[in-house]
Amino acid sequence: MTSHLKKVELHCHLEGAAPPELTLAQARKYNIDISAYLKDGAYVWHDFASFLECYDKISEVYKTAEDYALLTETYLAELADIGTIYSELIVSPDHGKRIGLGADAYIEGVCEGIRRAKAVSGIEARLIVTGERHFGPESVIGAAEYAAKAGNPLITGFNLAGEERMGRVADYARAFDIARDAGFGLTIHAGEVCGAFSVADALDAVRPARIGHGVRAIEDADLIKRLADLGTVLEVCPGSNIALKVFPDFQSHPVRALKQAGVRVTISSDDPPFFHTSLEREYELASDVFGFSDAEIDEMTRTGIEAAFVDEATRQALFARL
Ligand SMILES: [Zn+2]
């Protein structure tokens, strides 16, 4: 049981966290038929293409700034209920534009949800703006420029997500220069779909403080040592990795081997209901399946606070709540 442990989450995509019950209520509100994508309280997909299609369909029921406030507030309340004190949500201003809401209204809705959740439970949350590799370097630079100009104190990080097989990290380095100059913490999705080289690529071109996933670093002993020496933090999402078949089963998942090799690891849920998981389940897996002791799990949570994209006063306040 891990219900008594405080929790921190560094890697969760906001739309990917949409609780099925809320999605159903939203679909009814807008009279949108999502019965092919949501059955018996669970999202339905069977391969990567249908996962993306399902993800898009589910996102369609969140349209207004108030919808995003409600989504954010609902997910953060769910986290707070299981003892979570800090959450970083990955958001895409481009998504706001694509659905016709506009980037500003989308971000404002999410921030309103953060304020409401904090007022109820005290949970702290920050936003990581992400660019999507498959929309190309110009689009990722646009996302970085948007985040830099926003001057929003809740936006504290910049990420690169999307199709890992598109281009090299160096193609996106300009976007990370903009984000670094704006004072954002940097993290990059790598070592999930692609092998260890993609993690090395991220370190070579940008050297972010954190890597999203990074688990396939396990394929390269030199890279494991490099990550340990640099102190790079991996945002590990075991349930996601198994759902997307990055590893065949939990027994072959390398989170314990990476930690034992001195790599700093944290536990997150990625797109929880899509992968039939939750942060609560990820902590349970850490305990029951990977056999981490409560002390080891607390150490990963501490690592999460050390690596959180927050000001020092907030970081100390989070440590005090552990
Ligand atoms: Zn992710």
For 30-82, what is each residue's pLDDT tens digit?
A: 999 999 999 999 999 998 889 989 999 999 999 999 999 999 999 999 999 99
State in Å: Cα 175 to ligand 1 middle.
18
Question: How many whole angstroms from 162 Cα to the centroid of ligand 1?
Answer: 8
Q: Separation of 161 CA from ligand 1 center, angstroms?
A: 7
* Pairwise CA distance, residues 210 & 203, whole Å: 10
Catalytic residues: 192
Nearest to 105 by CA among 56, 59, 62: 62
- What is the rounded average pLDDT of the residues 22-33? 97
**Structure confidence by residue, pLDDT tens digits, 161-216:** 987 787 899 999 999 999 999 999 999 999 998 999 999 999 999 999 999 999 99
Q: Domain extents for the chain?
A: 7-17+68-321, 19-61
The rounded distance, in Å, linking the Cα atoms of 97 and 91 is 12
How do the residues of the chain divide into helix, strand and coil, expressed in percent and rounded to 5?
55, 15, 30
Please state which CATH number belongs to domain 7-17+68-321. Answer: 3.20.20.140
pLDDT in tens, 14-23: 999 999 999 9
- Cα(18) to ligand 1 centroid in Å equals 14
Distance 213 CA to ligand 1 centre (A): 7
What's the pLDDT at 65?
A: 98
At residue 248, the 3 state secondary structure works out as: coil
Task: Note the pTM of the prediction, 2 decimals.
Answer: 0.97
